[in-house]
Structure 1
Amino acid sequence: MEAVNHFRHTAYACIQLQLFLLIGFASAGNPHLHYDWLVSHAHRAPLGIVKQVIVINGQFPGPTLIATTNDILNINVRNDLTEPFLLTWNGVQQRRNSWQDGVQGTNCPIPPGKNWTYSFQMKDQIGSFFYFPSLLLQKASGGFGAVRINNRIIIPVPFPSPFQEFDVLIGDWFNADHRDLRSLLDHGNSLPIPDGILINGVRPYQATFGFQPGATYRLRISNVGLKTSVNLRIQDHLMLLVETEGSYTLKQYYESLDIHVGQSYSVLVTANQTAGSSYYMVATSRFIIPELAGIAVIQYPGSQGHPIGPFPPGPRPFDFRYSMEQARSIRWDLKVGAARPNPQGSFHYGLINVSQNIILENDMAIIGNHQRYTVNGISFVQPDTPLKLADYFQLNDVFKGDSIPNAPDGRYPALGTSVFDLKYRDFIHIVFQNSLPTLQTWHIDGYNFFVVGMDEGKWDSSRRSTYNMIDAISRSTIQVYPNSWTAIMVELDNQGMWNVRSQEAEKWYLGQELYIRVKGVGQDDPSTIPTQDEVPIPANVIRCGRAGSFT
C-alpha cells in the first residue's frame, strides 16, 4: 500500500501541475460577482394561513445564485430581522475557507440591523445546491434559495444543452412561526407533523412550468424542508438523472425519485406530449402519516385548467427497501469530466489506503429532563465562542480536539462540544449507524464523499465485502435508513473547521452534530505534498464571545 500511496501523491502532484498550466495563469482573472441581499420579514400564506416568513430582497424563496466554476462571490447580507442571522451554503465547498461556512461553529452571527459580506470562490466545483439560514430554526420560515454552478466553457457538459433550466425547491412546511416551533423543542417536545409540502414556496397548483413540445428541460431539485423525505414524479414524463450535488451520474431514467432532506439532484425531462394539455408534478411525503402532497403544473402551449386524470402513482409510503435500492442504483459516471478537465474516474478512491475508521452512531436520549439527540453518546452544545475563532485565537478552554470517541463506547449520554482532529490529506472511512426507527440524513460541510455502501442491520467489518469501490456516487448529503447503516469514504483535502450534522432541523437543533478540524501537516513529513495553509482570517470577520476583545 505504500507504493499505492506514493503513486497517489505523485499522480496528484502531476494533476495539480497540469491544472496549473491549463488554468492557473488565468486564476487572477476569475470573475468577481457582487450581490446585495436584504434579509427581512414579510407576510405570506403558502398554505392559506398567513405567516411571517423570511424573504431576501423581498423574494420567497430567495434569489437564485448562478455562477461558474472558479467564480468569486461577494454577497453582502444585511440583517433586517429582530434575531441574529447566518446563511450556510449547503454543498458548496469553500476551498480552505471555512471562515465563510455560515454555521455557528465557524461564524459569529450577523446582529440585527447589521451587515456582513461573504466572500468565497466556487473553486473546482459544478452542480446543484441551495443555501438556507443555519440559526434558531429560521429555516422553518424561509430564507432559502437555489444555487447553480455551471461548467466553464472549456469543460463539456455530458449531455445536450437543455432548452431551459428550472429550480424546483421542494420541502415540508409548518404554518407555525419558527419561534414557536423552537419553543416546542426547547421545552422537550418534538416537532409536529408538517402542515403540507411546498413547491417553490407556494401551495398546490400555484407553481407552474411551461414546456414546449419536443424540448428538453433541466430541473434542479432540492429538498429544502426541515424533516421530511419527499418523492417527486411527473405525470406521463420520465426523469433522466444526470447530476447530484456536484457529481455527474450515470444516466438513468426514473419514474419517481426520492429526495431526502438537504439533497439536490438534476434531471432532464423531455416534453414528449403535445400542445393543449397540462400535467401534474407531484411531491409526496415519505415515511410519515398522513401522506402530504405538493402539486405543481406542467403547462404546454394552449393548455387551460388543471391536468386531468389521477396523480401519477408513487412508491408505498413506508417502502424503505424501494428507497434503498434506488439510492444504490445512483452511480458516478467515470468517463466524463466535471469541474476539471480530467474524468471523474481518474481519482481511484478504491486504491487508497484508509488512514482512520470512524463509526458515528446516532441516538435519542433524555438529558437533564429534556429530549436530546446524540452522536456516540454526546449531544452537541454550542460554546460561547465559535470554534473557528477559538482555534485561531488559541482559546484553549473553549473546546478540546478529539473530544468524541471514534466509535460508540457505551458511555452515558451527556452534553458536550464534539470535535475530531484529523490530518490534511488523510483518507477516512466513516460508518453512519442509525439505531432509530426513523430515517436519518447526514451532511459534511466543505466536502463530497463516496457513498460506498448501505444496508439494514448493524455494521461490522464483514460488510466491507459489499462495498462499491469503483463507481460509488460522490455527494455531500446521504441518508441512513431506519436500523441501518451507510458507509462513506472521504479524502480530507480541504483544511478548516467543518460542520458534520444531521440535515433534519429538529435533530440538528437538539444536538446531532459535530465538527472536524482538518489541519495541514508539516512539510517535513515525506508522506505529504507541501500545501498552502488555509486562507487568512477575513478582514471583516465578526468577533464575538471570548474572541470579542481580540483584534
Structure 2
Amino acid sequence: MATFVGFLILLLITLEVAADLESPQVFYDWTVSYSRRAPLGVEKQVIVINDEFPGPLLNASTNDIVHVNIHNNLMEPFLMTWNGIHVRRNSWQDGAQETNCPIMPGQSWTYTFQLKDQIGSFFYFPSLLLQKGGGGYGAITVNNRDVLLLPFNQPYQDLNMLLADWYNAHHWDLRRLLDEGHSLRNPDGILINGLGPYDANFVFEPGQTYRLRISNVGLKTSINLRIEDHQLLLVETEGSYTIKQYYTSLDIHVGQSYSVLVTAKSHSQGGSFYMVASSRFTFPEITGVAVIRYTDSLGEHMGPLPQGPSLFDYSFSLDQARSIRWDLSVGAARENPQGSFHYGNIKISRMIYLENGVMTNQNKLRYTINGVSFVHPDTPLKLADYFQINHVFTPGIIPDMPDQTRMPTLGTSVIDALYRDFVHVVLYNPLSQLQSWHLDGYSFFVVGMEQGNWNPSKMATYNMVDAVSRSTVQVYPSSWTAILIKLDNQGMWNLRSQNAENWYLGQELYIRVKGVGQDDPLTIPTNDEAPIPDNVIKCGRALLHFLP
C-alpha cells in the first residue's frame, strides 16, 4: 500500500512539473549598482537597477515562470526578495537571509520561480543590510490569464505608485546607528516613484479610468494617499479582489499594496490636481506631493493641498482596515469565485500567539517576538536544514505563547509546522508604535483586529465569511490582529516585522513547513517542495557539502 501511495504522489508531482514546463516563461536581466541621486535635494548613493530608480517593472501573468538574473555591482552582498509573491513550492528562491546565500559583489545569480495561482499588485526590494533605505525596489504586476476577465471594466492605463519614506543619510549610516544601539529618527521626506515633492507628474485623459497600483515600499512610516477632488475605488489588495468601495483617502502601511480605480473628470476646468502622500502617526507630518495634469489643463495648480485624516487618529485607520472585505462573487487567478474557499469551515489545528517587544543586549536596543530576538547563524537555515548541519538552529526555541516568566534572550527562532495545518495566529502589539507584519510564501485571512488585549472570547467576533486574504497586515498600538493561515506551501518561510528597524534588530522568525513523515524514513512524506536549484549559492558550513 505504501508503495502505491508513493507512486501516486510521484505521479502527481511529475504531472505538475510537466505542466509547469509548458507554462510561459519571462526573462529579466538586472544590474544592481550605485548612482548618485538627490530625490530630496541632498545627494547620496542610491541603489539603482539597470540605472533606474525605482527599478524596472516586473510584469508577468498567472502561472508564468519568471527568471531574474541579477548582477551585483554593489560593494556589499545582495539579495532580492519578492514581497507578497508566493514563490510556489520553492523557498529556495525567496531571497531572505536564511533561505539564500547572498550574491557577493561582482557576482551574478538567477532567481527562477513560478507565479502559481496568483494575480495582483506587489513589489520587490533588497532584503539585506538595510539596503532598502538606499533604494533598489520596484513594482511587480501579476496579470490575469487571458481566459479570466477582470471583475471591473478594463482600465485605460495602469499606473504604479511606489510610496516611500526617505532618509538623506546613506543606508550604511542608518545601519551604523542601529548597530550602535540607537533608533531611527523620523525620515526626511516622502517619495512618490523615487521623486521628491512636486517632481512626480501624471497625465490624465478626461473621462478615462486609471488603475493605480500602490505600494508602501518605505522603511517604517505608514502613509495616507489622497487625490484632490477625486475618489479612490478600492478593487484589489495583494492578490485578492475586494468588495468595491470608495475612499477619499487610503492608509497604506509599510509593506502593503493596493489597487484603486480613479476616474478622471470629463474635463479639468482648466486646472491640475494634487496627489498627496503624507505620513501617519508621526510628528511633524511629512508630505510628498505629485501633480495630476489633464490633457486640457491650463497653467500650474496654486491651491492648498487636500487634507487627510487627523495625524494620530488610529480609530479612523482601524475602521477603514476593517471595512476592506473579500469579494466572494468573483474569481482571481482561477475561474471559481474566491468565496468558494470556505475558510470558516476549516478546523483550526494550532494556535500561535506572538507578542512583539523590546530588550537591551549589551546596552543596545533589540526587538523581540515572544521574548526572543533573532540572531543569524553562520549558515542559512534553509541550507542547514537541507544538508542536515547540526547546531545551526533548534526548532521550538521560541514558544507558541509568550512566557512572561522568561527573560528576553537572543536566539535563532524556528517554528516547526505541518503541511496543510490550519493555524490561528494572534499578533499582539503592546507598544505605542504601529507594527506591520509580513509572511513570505503565503496569504492569510485577516479575521479580527481590535484595540486592547486579546482573549479567547474574541474569537466569537471574528469575520469567518469574507475576511480579506493578504500577506501584510498592521497591528495598531496596544491592539491585536488575528489571522488564519492554511499551510499549503512547504519550505522555510520568513515571518517578519516590515518595519525595517525592528526587522534588522531581531523581530523575525522562520516557519519550517514540513510534510508528514519527512523525518521518518518508514513513512511516505507528502513533500512537494521543489528540489535544491542547480545554481544554488553555498556559504557558511554548507561549503563543506557537495550537491547530490
CA distance in 2, matches of 1:216, 1:241: 13
Match of 2:274 in 1: 280
Structure 1, gaps ≥5 residues long: 1-12
Q: Does 1:189 align with 2:182?
A: yes
Alignment of 1:9-24 (within 5 A): none
Query: 1:307 Cα shift?
Result: 2.1
CA distance in 1, matches of 2:57, 2:401: 40
Identify which of 146, 156, 166 aligns with 2:159.
166
Contact residue 40 and residue 54 of structure 1 kept, 8 A: yes
Query: 1:524 Cα shift?
Result: 13
Alignment of 1:38-77 (within 5 A): 38-77=31-70
Match of 1:294 in 2: 288
CA distance in 2, matches of 1:532, 1:211: 50
Match of 1:9 in 2: none
Query: Could you report, residue by residue, the CA deviation over 1:151-204 in whole angstroms, capped at 9, with x for unpaired residues?
Result: 001112100000000000001000000000000000000011100000000011
Contact residue 432 and residue 485 of structure 1 kept, 8 A: yes
CA distance in 2, matches of 1:195, 1:291: 11
Q: Does 1:134 align with 2:120?
A: no
Q: Does 1:344 align with 2:347?
A: no
Match of 1:434 in 2: 429
CA distance in 2, matches of 1:98, 1:253: 37
Match of 2:370 in 1: 376
Over the residues paired in the alignment, what is the CA RMSD in angstroms? Answer: 1.9
Query: Could you report, residue by residue, the CA deviation over 1:481-501 in whole angstroms, capped at 9, with x for unpaired residues?
Result: 000000000100000000000
CA distance in 2, matches of 1:395, 1:298: 56
Identify which of 255, 260, 264 aligns with 2:253.
260
Match of 1:515 in 2: 510
Contact residue 228 and residue 286 of structure 1 kept, 8 A: yes
Counterpart of 1:181 in 2: which secondary structure? Answer: helix
Letter in 2 for 1:420: I
Q: Does 1:544 align with 2:517?
A: no
Q: Does 1:388 align with 2:388?
A: no
Q: Does 1:402 align with 2:396?
A: yes
Counterpart of 1:548 in 2: which secondary structure? Answer: helix
Query: Could you report, residue by residue, the CA deviation over 1:435-474 in whole angstroms, capped at 9, with x for unpaired residues?
Result: 1011000000000000000101111101111100000000
Match of 2:109 in 1: 116
Match of 1:148 in 2: 141
Contact residue 424 and residue 521 of structure 1 kept, 8 A: yes
Query: 1:305 Cα shift?
Result: 4.2
Q: Does 1:308 align with 2:302?
A: yes
Letter in 2 for 1:242: V
Query: 1:332 Cα shift?
Result: 0.1
Query: 1:532 Cα shift?
Result: 4.8
Query: 1:522 Cα shift?
Result: 3.9
Counterpart of 1:297 in 2: which secondary structure? Answer: strand
Counterpart of 1:318 in 2: which secondary structure? Answer: coil
Alignment of 1:474-513 (within 5 A): 474-513=469-508
CA distance in 2, matches of 1:304, 1:138: 41
How many residues get paired?
Answer: 531
Contact residue 517 and residue 526 of structure 2 kept, 8 A: no
Query: Could you report, residue by residue, the CA deviation over 1:333-388 in whole angstroms, capped at 9, with x for unpaired residues?
Result: 00100001111001111111100000000011112211100000000000010000
Match of 1:8 in 2: none
Contact residue 192 and residue 290 of structure 2 kept, 8 A: yes
Letter in 1 for 2:218: G
Contact residue 428 and residue 480 of structure 2 kept, 8 A: yes
Query: 1:302 Cα shift?
Result: 3.4
Contact residue 215 and residue 270 of structure 1 kept, 8 A: yes
Query: 1:28 Cα shift?
Result: 3.2
Query: 1:310 Cα shift?
Result: 1.6
Identity %: 66
Q: Does 1:80 align with 2:36?
A: no
Match of 2:4 in 1: none
Counterpart of 2:373 in 1: which secondary structure? Answer: strand
Query: 1:26 Cα shift?
Result: 5.5
CA distance in 2, matches of 1:48, 1:529: 61
Counterpart of 2:544 in 1: which secondary structure? Answer: coil
Letter in 2 for 1:81: L
CA distance in 2, matches of 1:27, 1:107: 23
Alignment of 1:215-254 (within 5 A): 215-254=208-247
Structure 2, gaps ≥5 residues long: 1-7
Letter in 1 for 2:505: L
Match of 1:6 in 2: none
Please identify runs of 4+ aligned residues in structure 1 that moved more than 3 A: 23-28, 522-525, 528-532
Q: Does 1:446 align with 2:441?
A: yes
Contact residue 297 and residue 306 of structure 1 kept, 8 A: no
Query: 1:313 Cα shift?
Result: 1.4
Letter in 1 for 2:513: V
CA distance in 2, matches of 1:115, 1:549: 21
Contact residue 99 and residue 388 of structure 1 kept, 8 A: yes
Contact residue 170 and residue 200 of structure 1 kept, 8 A: yes
Counterpart of 1:287 in 2: which secondary structure? Answer: coil
> Normalising by structure 2, what TM-score?
0.94
CA distance in 1, matches of 2:176, 2:527: 44
Match of 1:534 in 2: 529
Query: 1:533 Cα shift?
Result: 2.1
Greater Cα shift, 28-37 or 380-389: 28-37
CA distance in 1, matches of 2:318, 2:454: 16
CA gap 1:471/1:221 in 2 versus in 1, 3 angstroms: same
Match of 2:3 in 1: none
CA distance in 2, matches of 1:229, 1:529: 46
Letter in 2 for 1:57: N
Alignment of 1:172-183 (within 5 A): 172-183=165-176
CA distance in 2, matches of 1:468, 1:120: 33
Query: 1:403 Cα shift?
Result: 1.7
CA distance in 1, matches of 2:469, 2:422: 14
Contact residue 514 and residue 527 of structure 2 kept, 8 A: no
Letter in 1 for 2:57: T
Letter in 2 for 1:521: V
Match of 2:358 in 1: 364
CA gap 1:37/1:523 in 2 versus in 1, 3 angstroms: closer
CA distance in 2, matches of 1:211, 1:530: 55
CA gap 1:530/1:160 in 2 versus in 1, 3 angstroms: farther
Query: 1:547 Cα shift?
Result: 0.3
Query: 1:477 Cα shift?
Result: 0.2
CA gap 1:356/1:181 in 2 versus in 1, 3 angstroms: same
Match of 2:413 in 1: 418
Contact residue 223 and residue 259 of structure 1 kept, 8 A: yes
Query: Could you report, residue by residue, the CA deviation over 1:493-542 in whole angstroms, capped at 9, with x for unpaired residues?
Result: 000000000000000000000000000114999xx998452100000000
